[in-house]
Structures are given as structure tokens and as C-alpha cells.
């Protein structure tokens, strides 16, 4: 009986122990269920947790920007005006190790090599064999590679969250995008200009660019560059009312994802950094200031006879198609250099310099690119009679193409000098910074309202929408309207005929300038060919500019390398293709009516009671100007003698471009 009782007690104890173990294992199982299934525990922070994004939620109204708004990515996206991604940051990881925690560096290296083929085995073994507590092994590995390495379960191998900048469209707008360094800080382009904004605000930065237009412009420009074997080229499309840059192309270019290996020539943005003599495109400024200042009128005539001033000889490439005296409208249509020089002399050196300064030609263009360069202009002390004349037809100064586009826009948009911008004006997220930028770069601005929509009597009956360009009023609306007709004339009857695009009423000005050689002289038959255009001319919306650096003649150009044979037809092709993309469609139905309203005679009649400038009434006679210049130099010499001897003249950022003995431009 005693043994039976003892066995029963043992049995109870065993049941109790079994129940205890059962309860214990049940608790462990329950805990594991919570930890792994119901409520999984988060991994250690320095392990893979920082790299795992939240489970995405379906948002039928979501955008690409929202889809890529990952919590572990800090630098904001850059998109075009339509939301197309231009620059995104992708989550990556940096692999590092604590060598003191490793058991077998060789085995660890082999495992890492199986996932990271580019890993240097010998160097990795050496680094893992040190007594350091921290060594980097690889940067910017993908999420898949991180998962594969983590699955090895190697003690002492850790991951650091990071991001890598990616440019989905590669070569599209590469010089505008710029690039970032290994620490994700902008080092060029808008990446650098907006570096603080991109790292502090995760909202996408919306640019004014339209990648559709950008791609078309690049394609047509590349064709022209190849056809005429130019060493470089650039093209710009800008909204003349807002200053928004819809496209900006510089060739050669590069893949933005390979910024570090791009050549300096490919990185060079010819649109804002390159300085080129504007050639005859600058005659537009000469005509504009003469008309605005009231020193010339469309009916006034100016001598096209070659001018010799000292050792300088100013002549036209070809003069058999016009008379020795040309009206101002003929000067623009036929692009006469001596006649433009006469107009500039009528304006005078002081007013010419003031005009160009007020038009922004003496300072870098205020655009959101750190690469914007400073123009090369003669110092005031060297701004004599020869400079006045040569600058009058675009010689002796060097300007970036964007400055020419900006100046052209001001002559046709009602007379407002707008600020070129790469920001979408309709993007509310950047209104404050844009306003601050404008105030800083432009100062007080007068606001002018110009109409948007074809409200010039084209018969469509469309009600105009009012747009308010912001900028400085530099011309009167009346002068601007007159210049629109003159620029249209250059395409219908002048040197810019090849820029015409049916139904778009293109206006503009050709410009061909000889290049300056490495030793300062001009290179014969080596040109900068450019065309600055506007469309539609009856209601200006966009400026289109094309420049070819050192184009060569082809059988189709009959030996010519001037802008009318290469740059102007390229502008025509661009306008024809991008017009519909910009919601501007050719109007051929009302073409005759619009052209009649835009027409201006090559030789306008002189109003009654007016005495036109011309033979016997030429205040811009170089001989009279030469005498005045001698008097000015004499007065300057007398003033210099009175000043203290040995005074050091500070170095100027402005450089003098000396004309060659013979200056010929088209």
C-alpha cells in the first residue's frame, strides 16, 4: 500500500511537471507567434531595417512623385512641367564591417564576392584583417544585393542607408541637371543651384522644361550639327511672356548618369556659359534703341557704302542686291553692316552703352544655373567710334545665347525685359523662392499687361486671356509692335526666308560672325551662325534660337556657311514640330489677312512735314564722329595729366575684343 501511494505521488508530480513544461512551451510558442506572425519584432536599426520601405498603399489619384516618395530618400525629385521625372533618388546601402567581430576574413570575402562581383578580394581581405572597428566595403549597393548579403548572417557585417541620384532620361537636359557628388550634394546645374531646396523639401522641384520639346529640339539640332559638321551647337525655346525656358540644348552633351566621366566639352553649356559674338542678331538691338530713343524712323535712310575708319574697314559680304542708301527696314531685312554702323553712330556711345546695360548685356543672365557666365564687353575707356560702329552690327562684344534670346523677347512682348527661369511659373511650391530671386536679380519691376490669344484681328473671334509679364519696361508697346513687323519682314522678304514655317508667322533675325582665333585675330570662313526667331509674330508666344559653331559648307548651301543656310532652316523645322506640343497650331486659313496686317514696306513713305535722314542729312557720318572722338580723347588726355601719377588702374572683369583689319558680317 505504501509503495502504491508513493507511485501515485510520483505520478502526480510528473503530471505537474509535465503541465508546467506544457504551460512553459505554450507561452514560448505564443510569444513566438506574436513575435513572428501576429506582431513581428523590428530588426536591429543598423541591420536591414533602414532599407525596407513601408508597404505601398494604392492611391488611384497618386502620381509618380508620390510613388517614389520613400521615407529613406531625402533629396527631392526634379520633374518637368508635365510631371515627367528628370532626377530621382533611389534607396541604396553602404556595406561596412567591424573586423574585430569577424572569424574568417577570407571566407567572408568569398561570400561578399559572390554578391558583389566588382569587389577586390585581396584588398577586402586586407581591410577585414585589420584591428579597426569600422571599414567600408562597398557603396551604393542595391536592395537585392543587401538582402543577399544579409541572408549570409555574417556577424560583424552591417548596412548603412543611403541614396543614389538617377536620371531616367539620360542625355535629356543633362547640362541643365548637372550632377551630385558621392555625398549627394549638388555640384553643377540645377542640382547645385537648388541644393538646399532639394535637401530640405521633399516636394518635387518642377522645372519649366517640357521634355517632349526638349527631345525634338535636341534631335533637330543634332541633325543640323552633323549635316554642317559643326563643332558645337545650342538651341533655346523660351516663353517671351514669362521667361520660362521650355527647352535648352547644348551639343555635344552626355548621359547625366555618367557625369563624372563626361568630357569638359560635353559638360560645357553653350547656352549660358559660351560667349560668342552675336553678329547681325545684335542689329535688332541697334534698331530697337534707335526707334525707342527717337533718333531714327523706319523711313530714314542710311548709307551702305563700306566705311573706312583708320585701319578698320566695314563692309557687307554681298551688296549687289541693295542700293547705296537703305531705309531702316531695309537695313534689317538685308542685314547691312555699314548702315547699322551709321544707325549706332546716330545713337552715340553713351546712349548705346546705357541701352545695352539696361537690356542686361553687361551682366550674367539671371537664370538658375551657376554656370551662367559674364559677357565680354569693351571697357568704357575703349568705347570709341570704332567700337560704337562694330557693336552696332554685333562685333566686338561676346554674349551668351540666352542673353540674345532675352533681348529678343523684350523687343516683341510689349517691351518688357523678363527674367529667364527654369522654374515652372505655375508651380505654387516655389512661388516664394521665385519671387525672391526676381527681386534680388532684377530690382523694382514695372508690370505690363499683354494679351494672350490671337487678338490681332485674325478673324477667329477668340477672347484674349490677359497675361502679366514681370520685368523692367525697356521699350514702349508701340515700338515693340513696330519691331514685330520689322522682324516679320526679315523672314518674308529678307535674309531669314528659310526660317519660315507656314501658318506660324515666324519673325526673326539672322546673325553670322567670324570666330576669333586663339591668338586674337579673326578666322576667315570660320563662323558662328545663329538665328533668333519668334512665333507667331502676330501674337508672340515663344522665342526659338539656334546657333551652330563653325558650320561647314555643303553642296546644298553653294559654299555658304552663313546663318540663312543652316541656323534659320533649323529654326523652321523646330517650330513646325514643337508648335502643336505647345498648343499652338498653324493658321493657314487666315494667313493672307494676318500677313497683310503685319506687313510693313521695305521703303516706308516719309510722312508729310518730316525730313528723313539720308543723303545730305546724315548725323551718323563717320567723319564727323571721328572729329568728335578726337576731341573727346584730347579732353580725356588733359584730365589724365591732372590726375596723380602712378595711380594703379584696378583690373576689370570686362575685356576688350579688338576688331581685325577687315570686318565682314552677314
The DSSP string of 377-426 is ---GGG--HHHHHHHHTT-S-BB-HHHHHHHHHHHHTTSEEEPPBSB-TT
* Main-chain phi, psi angles of 27, to 5 degrees: -65, -45
Cβ–Cβ < 8 Å for 297, 646: no
- Its pTM stands at 0.79
Q: Which residue is catalytic, options 250, 280, 304, 501?
A: 280
pLDDT at 77: 94
Handedness of CA 487, 603, 608, 352 (dihedral sign): positive
pLDDT at 326: 96
Which CA distances in Å does 457 have to 461, 462, 482, 503? 8, 10, 16, 15
Q: Reply yes or no on whether the pLDDT at 292 is more than 90.
A: yes
The model's confidence at residue 43, banded by pLDDT at 50, 70 and 90, is: low
Instruction: Please write down the long-range contacts of 478-482, taking CB distance under 8 Å and 24 or more positions apart.
Output: 479/288, 479/291, 479/292, 479/415, 480/411, 480/412, 480/413, 480/414, 480/415, 482/291, 482/298, 482/600
The model's confidence at residue 63, banded by pLDDT at 50, 70 and 90, is: very low
pLDDT digits (tens, 9 = 90+) for 537-583: 999 999 999 999 999 999 999 999 999 999 999 999 999 999 999 99
| Least reliable range by pLDDT among 50-59, 141-150, 186-195 | 50-59
- CA dihedral of residues 517, 518, 520, 526 (deg, nearest 10): 0
The side-by-side arrangement of strands in the sheet containing 522-535 is: 245-251, 232-239, 542-549, 522-535, 507-516
pLDDT at 139: 84
Instruction: Tell me which of 517 and 92 has the higher pLDDT.
Output: 92
Query: What average pLDDT does range 304-314 have in this prediction?
Result: 83
Cell matching residue 207: 522645372
C-alpha–C-alpha distance, residues 376 and 380, integer Å: 12
Cell matching residue 334: 538685308
Is residue 336 part of the annotated active site? The answer reads no
The pLDDT > 90 percentage for the chain reads 57
At CA 231, angle to CA 86 and CA 187, rounded to 5?
35
Instruction: Tell me which of 280 and 451 has the higher pLDDT.
Output: 280
- In this structure, the strands spanning 179-180 and 186-188 are antiparallel
pLDDT digits (tens, 9 = 90+) for 458-516: 434 444 456 667 889 999 999 999 999 999 999 999 999 999 999 999 999 999 998 88
pLDDT at 626: 62
DSSP state of 614: B
Cell matching residue 151: 541572408
Q: Reply yes or no on whether the pLDDT at 427 is more than 90.
A: no
pLDDT at 424: 95
pLDDT at 485: 97
| Least reliable range by pLDDT among 90-99, 353-362, 431-440 | 431-440
* Main-chain phi, psi angles of 412, to 5 degrees: -120, -15
The model's confidence at residue 1, banded by pLDDT at 50, 70 and 90, is: low
| Least reliable range by pLDDT among 4-8, 351-355, 478-482, 651-655 | 651-655
The pLDDT > 70 percentage for the chain reads 81
Q: Which residues on neighbouring strands pair with residue 472, listed in sequence order?
A: 417
Q: Reply yes or no on whether the pLDDT at 346 is more than 90.
A: yes
| Least reliable range by pLDDT among 323-332, 603-612, 640-649 | 640-649
Q: Reply yes or no on whether the pLDDT at 629 is more than 90.
A: no
Query: What average pLDDT does range 632-647 have in this prediction?
Result: 66
pLDDT at 184: 85
pLDDT at 449: 34
DSSP state of 617: B
pLDDT at 191: 97
Q: Reply yes or no on whether the pLDDT at 108 is more than 70.
A: yes
Q: Reply yes or no on whether the pLDDT at 99 is more than 90.
A: no
The model's confidence at residue 664, banded by pLDDT at 50, 70 and 90, is: very low
Q: Reply yes or no on whether the pLDDT at 456 is more than 60.
A: no
The model's confidence at residue 94, banded by pLDDT at 50, 70 and 90, is: confident
pLDDT at 313: 84
DSSP state of 538: T
pLDDT at 17: 78
pLDDT digits (tens, 9 = 90+) for 512-528: 998 887 777 777 778 99
pLDDT digits (tens, 9 = 90+) for 129-162: 888 888 888 888 888 888 888 888 888 898 888 8
Which range has highest mean pLDDT (199-203, 221-225, 443-447)? 221-225
| Least reliable range by pLDDT among 110-119, 253-262, 280-289, 335-344 | 110-119
| Mean per-residue pLDDT over the chain, rounded | 84
Amino acid at each position: 500500500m505504501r509503495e502504491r501511494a508513493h507511485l501515485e505521488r510520483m505520478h502526480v508530480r510528473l503530471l505537474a511537471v509535465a503541465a508546467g513544461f506544457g504551460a512553459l512551451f505554450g507561452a514560448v510558442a505564443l510569444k513566438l507567434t506574436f513575435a513572428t506572425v501576429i506582431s513581428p519584432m523590428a530588426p536591429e536599426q543598423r541591420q536591414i531595417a533602414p532599407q525596407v520601405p513601408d508597404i505601398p498603399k494604392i492611391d488611384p489619384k497618386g502620381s509618380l512623385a508620390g510613388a517614389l516618395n520613400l521615407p529613406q530618400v531625402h533629396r527631392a525629385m526634379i520633374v518637368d512641367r508635365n510631371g515627367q521625372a528628370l532626377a530621382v533618388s533611389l534607396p541604396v546601402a553602404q556595406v561596412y564591417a567591424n573586423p574585430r567581430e569577424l572569424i574568417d576574413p577570407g571566407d567572408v570575402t568569398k561570400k561578399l564576392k559572390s554578391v558583389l562581383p566588382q569587389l577586390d578580394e585581396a584588398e577586402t581581405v586586407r581591410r577585414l584583417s585589420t584591428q579597426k572597428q569600422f571599414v567600408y566595403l562597398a557603396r551604393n549597393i542595391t536592395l537585392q544585393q543587401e538582402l543577399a548579403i544579409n541572408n549570409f548572417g555574417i556577424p560583424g557585417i552591417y548596412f548603412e542607408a543611403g541614396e543614389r541620384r538617377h536620371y531616367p532620361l539620360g542625355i535629356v537636359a543633362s547640362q541643365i541637371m548637372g550632377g551630385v557628388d558621392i555625398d549627394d550634394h549638388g555640384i553643377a546645374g540645377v542640382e547645385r543651384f537648388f541644393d538646399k531646396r532639394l535637401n530640405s523639401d521633399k516636394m518635387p522641384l518642377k522645372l519649366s522644361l517640357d521634355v517632349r520639346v526638349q527631345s525634338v529640339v535636341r534631335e533637330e539640332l543634332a541633325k543640323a550639327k552633323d549635316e554642317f559638321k559643326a563643332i558645337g551647337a545650342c538651341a533655346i525655346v523660351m516663353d517671351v511672356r514669362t521667361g520660362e525656358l521650355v527647352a535648352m540644348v547644348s551639343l555635344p552633351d552626355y548621359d547625366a548618369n555618367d557625369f563624372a566621366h563626361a568630357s569638359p566639352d560635353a559638360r560645357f553649356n553653350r547656352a549660358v556659359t559660351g560667349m560668342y559674338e552675336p553678329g547681325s542678331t545684335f542689329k535688332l538691338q541697334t534698331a530697337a534703341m534707335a526707334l525707342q530713343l527717337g533718333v531714327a524712323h523706319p523711313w530714314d535712310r542710311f548709307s551702305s557704302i563700306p566705311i573706312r575708319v583708320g585701319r578698320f574697314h566695314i563692309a557687307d559680304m554681298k551688296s549687289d542686291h541693295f542700293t547705296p542708301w537703305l531705309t531702316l527696314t531695309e537695313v534689317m531685312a538685308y542685314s547691312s553692316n555699314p548702315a547699322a554702323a551709321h544707325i549706332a553712330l546716330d545713337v552715340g556711345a553713351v546712349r548705346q552703352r546705357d541701352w545695352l546695360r539696361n537690356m542686361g548685356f553687361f551682366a550674367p543672365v539671371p537664370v538658375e544655373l551657376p554656370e551662367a557666365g559674364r559677357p565680354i564687353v569693351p571697357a568704357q575707356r575703349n568705347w570709341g567710334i570704332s567700337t560704337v560702329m562694330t557693336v552696332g552690327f554685333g562685333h566686338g562684344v561676346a554674349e551668351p545665347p540666352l542673353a540674345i534670346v532675352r533681348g529678343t523677347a523684350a523687343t516683341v512682348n510689349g517691351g518688357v525685359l523678363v527674367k529667364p527661369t527654369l522654374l515652372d511659373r505655375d508651380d505654387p511650391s516655389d512661388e516664394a523662392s521665385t519671387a525672391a530671386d526676381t527681386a534680388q536679380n532684377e530690382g523694382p519691376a514695372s508690370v505690363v499687361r499683354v494679351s494672350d490669344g490671337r487678338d490681332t484681328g485674325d478673324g477667329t473671334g477668340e477672347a484674349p486671356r490677359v497675361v502679366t509679364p514681370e520685368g523692367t519696361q525697356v521699350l514702349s508697346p508701340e515700338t515693340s509692335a513696330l519691331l514685330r513687323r520689322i522682324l516679320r519682314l526679315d523672314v518674308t522678304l529678307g535674309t531669314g526666308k528659310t526660317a519660315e514655317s507656314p501658318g506660324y508667322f515666324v519673325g526673326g533675325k539672322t546673325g553670322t560672325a567670324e570666330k576669333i582665333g586663339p591668338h586674337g585675330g579673326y578666322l576667315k570662313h570660320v563662323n558662328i551662325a545663329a538665328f533668333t526667331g519668334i512665333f507667331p509674330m502676330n501674337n508672340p508666344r515663344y522665342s526659338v534660337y539656334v546657333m551652330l559653331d563653325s558650320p561647314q559648307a555643303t553642296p546644298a548651301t553653294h559654299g555658304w556657311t552663313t546663318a540663312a543656310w543652316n541656323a534659320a532652316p533649323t529654326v523652321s523645322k523646330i517650330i513646325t514640330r514643337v508648335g502643336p506640343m505647345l498648343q499652338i497650331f498653324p493658321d493657314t486659313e487666315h494667313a493672307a489677312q494676318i500677313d497683310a496686317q503685319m506687313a510693313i514696306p521695305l521703303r516706308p513713305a516719309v510722312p508729310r512735314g518730316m525730313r528723313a535722314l539720308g543723303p545730305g542729312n546724315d548725323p551718323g557720318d563717320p567723319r564727323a564722329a571721328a572729329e568728335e572722338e578726337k576731341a573727346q580723347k584730347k579732353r580725356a588726355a588733359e584730365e589724365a595729366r591732372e590726375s596723380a601719377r602712378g595711380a594703379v588702374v584696378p583690373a576689370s572683369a570686362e575685356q576688350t575684343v579688338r576688331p581685325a583689319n577687315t570686318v565682314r558680317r552677314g
